[in-house]
Amino acid sequence: MTLTQWMPFIVLMPLILSGVSALLPGKTAPWLLAFATATASTILAALVWLGLGPEPMRYAFGNWAPPMGIEYRVDHANALVALIVSGIASLALLWGKRSADQEIPERQGIFYALFLLALAGLLGITLTGDAFNVFVFLEISSLSTYALVAYGQDRRGLLAAFRYLIMGTIGATFILIGIGFLYMMTGTLNMADLAERIPAVADTNAVRAGFAFIIVGLGLKLALLPLHLWLPNAYAFAPNVITVFLAGTATKVALYVMLRFIYTIFGGDYSFGALPLADIMMVLAVAGMVVGSWVAMFEPNLKRMMAYSSVAQVGYLVLGVALVSIIGLTATFVHLFNHALMKAGLFMALGTVMYRTGSARIEAFYGVGRQMPWTMTAFALLGLSLIGVPATAGFVSKWYLIWGALDAGQVWLVVLILITSLMAVVYIWRVIEAAWFQAPRDQQSPVAEAPKALLIPLWLMVALNIYFGLDTRLSLGAAEQAAQVLLGGF
């Protein structure tokens, strides 16, 4: 079999094996299966990414030639996203065994089956070249995510999941309406085919309405302010391993699909010409950056704090798109990569403390710095990456964003990026201050350092954050390629 024939297995492996995982008893076997599957997908995604030529890699399912059949179409943009998604899933699982054992005492087979389904959905959205297939995989990942968010023992997770379900379904239905309009106007669902046929009917209200529906629907999935309301509670009350996984993947995939629609299907000129999309995105991105960081500074629940920080980071991602330049788009992809690393790492650090203290409230972190020095040092280093201190991955993203803003002649954006970074300093510092400068709440029973099974993956994340801060050839090169591919069309 050639690499092209292996490529669909990135999605098929987690999709098929999720059924097997549901049948496995006990705690170790399902975890092992899930971890092995995610790792295999990661390796395959890496091989595909390395093996890509200038032409996209295409695979037609069931040998039905596109545009009739469904095809997977992989270029440098979605290969990179697939690599990020599967990589973060493997890292989350590597870290999550102990944490899941504590938070999910029973029926772990089904838990990991849902995890694999969510992973398969996200990877499917990324790799497919068919607009309707995007909707189907979006719902596969969303439905399993709703169940996963509700899987913990905290009853608030149920409410968070229900509200996420309502908003997520509205978003997905908007996308379906949009795809319906496009299908009515062009008679095709294949992305490359759509891109060919849309220019002929571009100047109609149906296509414009379809475009608007798709952008709003994806904006909901992306948690772009003001459509972010589902995100903080869903992240805060989900089991920790799920939070780590979602924080690194779900919003990233939504952003990738949005870029695919904007650049490949509609074409950049149409997308930014038919609607004042760049202006809208700029305003929402800036609002997201400021509001997200502002709320994070005062949030007493640290998982919610990090979730609001994610809203701010989505703002950075969208800001890169709104600059409408190759540098801005490169910044978006670099940040996509780096933010997945740092936010997954930060949630791992919070989860590691929660493994011992059982609470994400800031009071539970009092004095933890001396009791769990390895965990909190990792948190501090990852926090520096989030702030954007040189020699960390976060610095590279901020550097590119600022460069993009200067290139576009928008000096006020540079000021805003710096101000929101300072706000990040404030909310990271709150945790450091609580962990090292406050006396522990309970002097009698100090918490012990976390087990090595949690610490080693956590420090792996720290190492990755620092590595990609120092050696940017891999992340930047990949991001530049991805941006060029998107701007160049299929």
Partner 1 sequence: MTVILSYFNYWVVVLLMMIGFYGVIAHGNMDKKLMSLGLFQTSVFIMFISAGKVIGGATPILRDGVALHSNPLPHVLILTAIVVGVATTAVGLALAVRIQEAYGTIEDDLIGDPSHEPEEP
Residue 157 CB, shortest distance to partner 1, in Å, is 8
Residue closer to partner 1, measured from CB, 126 or 301? 301
SS3 of residue 113 by DSSP: helix
474 vs 455: CA distance, rounded Å: 26
Residue (141 or 385) nearer to partner 1, CB: 141
Contact letters for partner 1, residues 284-313 (x by CB under 8 A): -----------------x--x---------
Nearest Cα to Cα of residue 446 among 380, 377, 382, 373 = 373
- State both tokens at 485: 């591919």
Bridge partners, 301 (sequence order): 361
Stretch that binds partner 1, among 15-23, 95-103, 233-241, 414-422 (CB under 8 A): 233-241
Give the residue among 294, 266, 242 at the shortest CA–CA distance from 427: 294
DSSP 3-state of 71: strand
The number of residues that bind partner 1 (CB under 8 A) is 36
Instruction: Between 77 and 161, name the residue whose CB sits nearer to partner 1.
Output: 161
The alpha carbon of 276 is separated from its chain's Cα centroid by a whole number of angstroms, namely 26
* Contacts (CB under 8 A) with partner 1, residues 342-361: 359, 361
What CA–CA distance (Å, rounded) separates 158 from 101? Answer: 19
Q: Which of 66, 67, 121, 232 binds partner 1 (CB under 8 A)?
A: 232
Contact 337, 252 (CB under 8 A): no
Per CB under 8 A, 111 contacts partner 1? no
- Residue bearing tokens 């300072």: 422
Residue 301 DSSP label: B
Q: Is 234 in the site for partner 1 (CB under 8 A)?
A: no
Contact between 83 and 49 under an 8 Å Cβ cutoff? The reply is yes
CA 173 to centroid of chain Cα atoms: 21
Closest distance to partner 1 from the beta carbon of 428 (Å): 21
**Residues from 132 through 191 that contact partner 1 (CB under 8 A):** 132, 135-136, 139, 143, 146-147, 150, 154-156, 158-162, 165-166, 169-170, 172-173, 176-177, 180, 183-184, 189
- Give 97 or 303: the residue with its C-beta nearer to partner 1: 303
Q: Choose, by CB under 8 A, the member of 35, 230, 237, 245 that binds partner 1.
A: 237
Distance CA 190, CA 8 (A): 17
- Could you say which DSSP state residue 190 is in? B
* Closest to partner 1 by CB, 362 or 381: 362
Q: To the nearest whole angstrom, how small is the minimum distance from the Cβ of residue 335 to partner 1? A: 27
| Structure tokens that stand for 479 in this block | 């991001």
The site for partner 1 (CB under 8 A) is made up of 132, 135-136, 139, 143, 146-147, 150, 154-156, 158-162, 165-166, 169-170, 172-173, 176-177, 180, 183-184, 189, 232-233, 236-237, 301, 304, 359, 361
